[in-house]
């Protein structure tokens, strides 16, 4: 048909995705194109919906941690920590200090892997394949750290209600220093390859722009919002864990385009590394979990040698932690922005309602407005900078 | 502003707002509103210089099966300029599960309300494009309702030609 929506020429309908070689993540764009200009776009999500919220209502509170890992699988520890903080707020317990430092360290390593995934893939999709693989190489050094901490690279299930699963390895400081040195070297290379690259510049500057007011109205958070100049970072706005004792800055952009989003993420990685170094330097000795028998499993020694320990273990595993009735909404800074959990407990051992506020869901909601009137090829860069993670967006 | 001061301010600004205090709220600012106060009350909260909730952080619902009214729509508001939060809860009865839309107040309400419709079957009156978002159009039922069995199977759906039967017939020029 011709001239629909008052556009000049013929409008062509194209469906891009849900499995398209130039986009990572299952997502479908129903496009109406005039030549290569996007007249209208309809973004379809939901291809990776796994019923996270429904599944969480079936098990105990601790059963939800593995599911939380799989929300944003580029930064599993951040999801773990976010969920743990929400349940702890609901239960009225606070994790010991050493545990809080460990969570900060793990979380920031996860933020680095998240940003590296996003930027590496974004570079890759623009043809900068070497830079893309350099970033993935940097991610490998960090995954080695995650593996040393948690025993797994991706599906870590590291946090528990009131603590973490195990302590840091004894040589964590040396390992981290080695890994961060490599990451810094690679990031310097990538910065030289990309940040002032003509092709990269032309594909990113002024593309996917969203005004500050629109970004706030769309509920954008994280690097997408900070690229428009709003310094909203949950770690600063409502400090949790020990972020108020750590010196770091919140990088912001000015124009809210893809290039600013890229630069904000690059700058945030350096801040994350600073946070890791400070947290490691100030890491206190002490327990890594609470000992409250209502919420935390007793040590195995007690389970096998005393009847009280055995009963305690049995009750916690079979009936779950009886979190007092009530509700909370706890926001943390995830890899892509405000990662919030809204939890309702009815006092039984099972969650009554678990709601995750996935940051990339709201990013995707704004994608249509970022793309309308732009070129077909701009979809790839803009979608890449939203860093939509299917598991999180479709939860 | 402390939580108490914020709640007092909100109660003065929005007629009919009941602060939800006590142990249930865990020290967070929560109010309960009747649905007929929407969306005017939300607009006031967004625009008033002392509240300035310019961001709808999240919008979701909860199903309290067996309680009257059965549903609750939950708005998580955040003010980037004043750095405070408020949770607005709106009870919704089972026999008429509908709430006025907030899409005119915040743009993020668009997709969030579609998700609540998809998952809970709560309609948002005046929403420009209320259809499923995570599930497919042929899906039967609303999975996050408490009476939706977790192991329920869905019927097989015949293959649909996406050109002649698009997801969004009212928008497509082809249909």
CA–CA distance, B112 with B93 (Å, rounded to integer): 20
pLDDT band for position B150 (cuts 50, 70, 90): confident
The torsion defined by the Cα of A67, A73, A77 and A80, in degrees rounded to 10, comes to: -20
- Terminus-to-terminus CA distance in chain A, angstroms? 37
CA–CA distance, A304 with A318 (Å, rounded to integer): 17
Query: How many angstroms separate the CA of residue A46 from the nearest CA in chain B?
Result: 4
pLDDT at B172: 43
Answer whether A1 sits within 8 Å of B55, measured CB to CB. no
Q: Are A321 and A349 in contact (CB under 8 A)?
A: yes
Chain B positions touching A54 (Cβ under 8 A) are 143-144, 148, 150
The two counts, helices (H) then strands (E), for chain B are 3, 7
**Phi (first) and psi of residue B58, to 5 degrees:** -160, 150
Chain B positions touching A365 (Cβ under 8 A) are 107-108, 110-112
pLDDT at B22: 65
Answer whether A46 sits within 8 Å of B134, measured CB to CB. yes
- What is the rounded average pLDDT of the residues A117-121? 88
pLDDT at A1: 40
Distance from CA of residue A315 to its chain's centroid?
33
Q: Are A4 and A32 in contact (CB under 8 A)?
A: yes
Rounded to 10°, the helix B109-120/A359-371 angle is 120
Pairing type for strands A12-16 and A28-34 reads antiparallel
Question: Three-state DSSP class for B79?
Answer: strand
What does pLDDT average to over chain A? Answer: 87
Judge whether residue B19 has pLDDT over 80: no
What does pLDDT average to over chain B? Answer: 84
pLDDT at A9: 62
Higher pLDDT, B22 or B53: B53
Distance from CA of residue B15 to its chain's centroid?
20
Q: Strand locations in chain A, DSSP E?
A: 12-16, 28-34, 37-44, 159-160, 163-164, 326-333, 338-345, 351-357
Judge whether residue B173 has pLDDT over 50: no
Query: How many angstroms separate the CA of residue B22 from the nearest CA in chain A?
Result: 10
- What is the rounded average pLDDT of the residues A225-237? 90
DSSP codes joined into one string, A255-269: S-SHHHHHHHHHHHH
Instruction: Identify the CA nearest to B85 among candidates A342, A68, A100, A53.
Output: A342
Higher pLDDT, A23 or B9: B9
CA–CA distance, A82 with A351 (Å, rounded to integer): 16
Count Cβ neighbours within 10 Å for each residue of B111-133 and write b for 16 or more, e otherwise: bbbbbbbbbbbbbbeebeebebb
Interface predicted TM-score (ipTM) of this complex, two decimals:
0.87
Query: How many angstroms separate the CA of residue A215 from the nearest CA in chain B?
Result: 9
Q: How much is the pTM?
A: 0.88
CA–CA distance, A97 with B161 (Å, rounded to integer): 58
Chain B positions touching A326 (Cβ under 8 A) are 23-26
Instruction: Identify the CA nearest to A147 among candidates A156, A138, A139.
Output: A156
């Amino acid at each position: 048909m011709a001239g629909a929506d008052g556009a000049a020429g013929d409008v062509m309908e194209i469906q891009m995705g849900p499995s398209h070689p130039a986009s990572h993540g299952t997502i479908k764009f129903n496009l109406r194109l005039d030549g290569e200009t996007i007249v209208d776009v309809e973004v379809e999500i939901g291809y990776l919906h796994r019923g996270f919220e429904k599944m969480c209502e079936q098990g105990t509170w601790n059963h939800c941690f593995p599911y939380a890992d799989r929300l944003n699988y580029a930064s599993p520890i951040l999801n773990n920590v976010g969920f743990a903080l929400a349940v702890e707020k609901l239960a009225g317990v606070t994790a010991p200090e050493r545990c809080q430092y460990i969570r900060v360290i793990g979380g920031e390593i996860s933020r680095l892997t998240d940003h590296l995934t996003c930027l590496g893939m974004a570079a890759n999709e623009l043809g900068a394949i070497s830079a893309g693989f350099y970033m993935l190489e940097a991610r490998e050094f960090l995954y080695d750290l995650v593996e040393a901490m948690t025993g797994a690279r991706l599906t870590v299930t590291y946090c528990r209600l009131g603590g973490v699963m195990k302590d840091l390895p004894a040589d964590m400081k040396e390992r981290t220093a080695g890994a961060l040195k490599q990451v810094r070297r690679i990031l310097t290379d990538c910065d030289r390859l990309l940040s002032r690259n003509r092709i990269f510049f032309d594909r990113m500057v002024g593309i996917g722009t969203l005004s500050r007011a629109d970004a706030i109205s769309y509920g954008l958070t994280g690097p997408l919002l900070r690229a428009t100049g709003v310094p909203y970072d949950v770690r600063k706005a409502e400090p949790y864990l020990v972020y108020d004792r750590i010196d770091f800055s919140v990088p912001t952009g000015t124009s809210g385009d893809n290039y600013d989003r890229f630069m904000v993420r690059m700058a945030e990685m350096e801040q994350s590394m600073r946070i890791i170094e400070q947290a490691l330097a100030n890491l206190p000795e002490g327990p890594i979990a609470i000992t409250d028998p209502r919420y935390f499993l007793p040590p195995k020694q007690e389970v096998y040698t005393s009847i009280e320990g055995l009963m305690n273990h049995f009750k916690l595993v079979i009936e779950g932690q009886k979190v007092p009735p009530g509700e909370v909404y706890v926001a943390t800074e995830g890899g892509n922005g405000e990662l919030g959990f809204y939890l309702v407990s009815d006092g039984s051992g099972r969650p009554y309602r678990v709601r995750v506020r996935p940051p990339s869901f709201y990013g995707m909601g704004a994608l249509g407005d970022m793309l309308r009137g732009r070129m077909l090829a701009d979809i790839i860069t803009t979608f890449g900078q939203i860093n939509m993670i299917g598991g999180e967006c479709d939860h | 502003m402390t939580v108490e001061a914020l709640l007092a301010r909100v109660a003065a600004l929005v007629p009919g707002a009941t602060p939800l205090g006590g142990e249930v709220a865990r020290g967070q600012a929560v109010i309960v509103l009747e649905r007929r106060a929407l969306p005017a009350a939300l607009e006031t909260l967004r625009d008033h210089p002392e509240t300035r909730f310019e961001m709808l952080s999240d919008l979701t619902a909860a199903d309290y099966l067996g309680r009257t009214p059965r549903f609750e729509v939950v708005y998580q508001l955040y003010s980037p300029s004043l750095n405070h939060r408020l949770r607005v809860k709106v009870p919704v009865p089972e026999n008429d599960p509908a709430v006025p839309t907030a899409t005119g107040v915040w743009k993020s309400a668009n997709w969030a309300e579609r998700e609540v419709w998809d998952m809970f079957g709560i309609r948002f009156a005046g929403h420009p494009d209320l259809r499923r978002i995570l599930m497919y159009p042929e899906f039967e039922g609303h999975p996050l309702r408490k009476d939706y069995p977790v192991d329920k199977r869905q019927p097989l759906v015949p293959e649909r030609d996406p050109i002649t039967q698009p997801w969004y017939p009212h928008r497509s020029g082809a249909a």
